Amino acid sequence: MSNDKNDSSAITILFGETEKSADELHKKFSDGAKLTGYIRDRIVAAKPYWVSLSEKYGSDPEVAPTLSSGIDFLNAYNQQLNDLNASLQYNEKRLVSIVGSGEVFDVNTASIADVNPVGFYFEHKPCPFTDHGDTESRAMQLEKFDVSLAKTYRQVWEVLHSTRADPERAALYLMRQTYDHFFGILAPDDKVRQSNGWEKKPRDKPDQVTRIERIEYAAHAHISDQIKAQIMIASAKPILKVYMALNQAHKRGELDSNKARNAIYAMDKVLSEWLNTIDL
């Protein structure tokens, strides 16, 4: 490459190479933050169940083998994390492998919780950043509608698992935007207004399209199975309750992390149900 500082092509190439290096570095550490965020979050989520199970041991010695296996697994898992932490230089393949171990523990915890209930409900959440993650499969489905829609959906999980400062608030906004964008595609305003289910509104917003009208139109327009369409229409009010729960993002002050995450996961299930029901 030319060293001539007046050579615009040379500096363009240099910027391109530097941008590529920065982008590769950014991706490496961004992916690492997401994966380690998932590891941390699922450990925090699983802790109350295992603590409750250990407390049950005093009155129910039969839980001892299960408790012992959980402790053995956690010791080994903790050693994996300590070894990786001590060795860092960043190793993504090794990190993904550890995420796999974390998912095994997460699945085991959910399975054990089903057969050994201790008053604490635990649900497995697959890592959304691995190829087999449910959220990535949904993102790929959303890409068929709009690439930007899929990007917004992916951002939900990126900020939720990789942001340390108030991750739930940003994720709530993004999940609400995902919902609005998705149903805006399924049920555009002009199409809804032309349908039999739309009614002109009184006072200052005569052309307004309500969310229920949008859901009804989307079901009729995109679900050929009429029974399934009616089921999705019947779910409109529960869906709106979930949507309203996303609005806690507007709350000033500290959010209830569990309530916020429950709202995000609930809306994710809504999107999943629609993606699995509509005619693609």
Q: What is the pLDDT along the chain (280 residues), one digit of tens a residue?
A: 455 556 678 778 876 887 888 788 677 777 888 888 899 999 999 999 999 999 988 888 888 999 999 899 899 999 988 888 888 766 667 777 777 777 777 877 887 787 777 787 888 887 877 665 678 889 999 999 999 999 999 999 999 988 878 899 999 999 999 999 999 999 999 999 999 999 998 888 899 999 999 999 999 999 998 898 898 898 888 889 899 999 988 888 889 888 899 889 889 988 988 998 898 7
Q: Is the pTM of this model over 0.95?
A: no
- Residue 3 confidence (pLDDT): 55
Cα radius of gyration (the chain): 24
Specify the pLDDT at position 131.
60
User: C-alpha distances in angstroms, 253 versus 41, 176, 227, 249, 256?
Assistant: 22, 20, 44, 10, 10
pLDDT score for 4: 57
Compute how many other C-beta atoms are within 10 angstroms of the C-beta atom of residue 269: 10
DSSP result, 83-123: HHHHH-S--HHHHHHHHHHHHHHHHHHHHHHHHS--S----
pLDDT of residue 126: 78
pLDDT value of position 46: 92
Give the C-alpha separation, 65 to 139, whole Å: 40
Compute the distance between CA of residue 138 and CA of residue 45 in angstroms, rounded to an integer. 23
Whole-number pLDDT of residue 125: 80
Half-sphere exposure (CA, 13 Å, Cβ side) for 202? 0
pLDDT of residue 43: 93
Reduced to 3 states (helix: H, G, I; strand: E, B; else coil), residue 126 is coil
pLDDT of residue 89: 67
Give the pLDDT of residue 133: 60
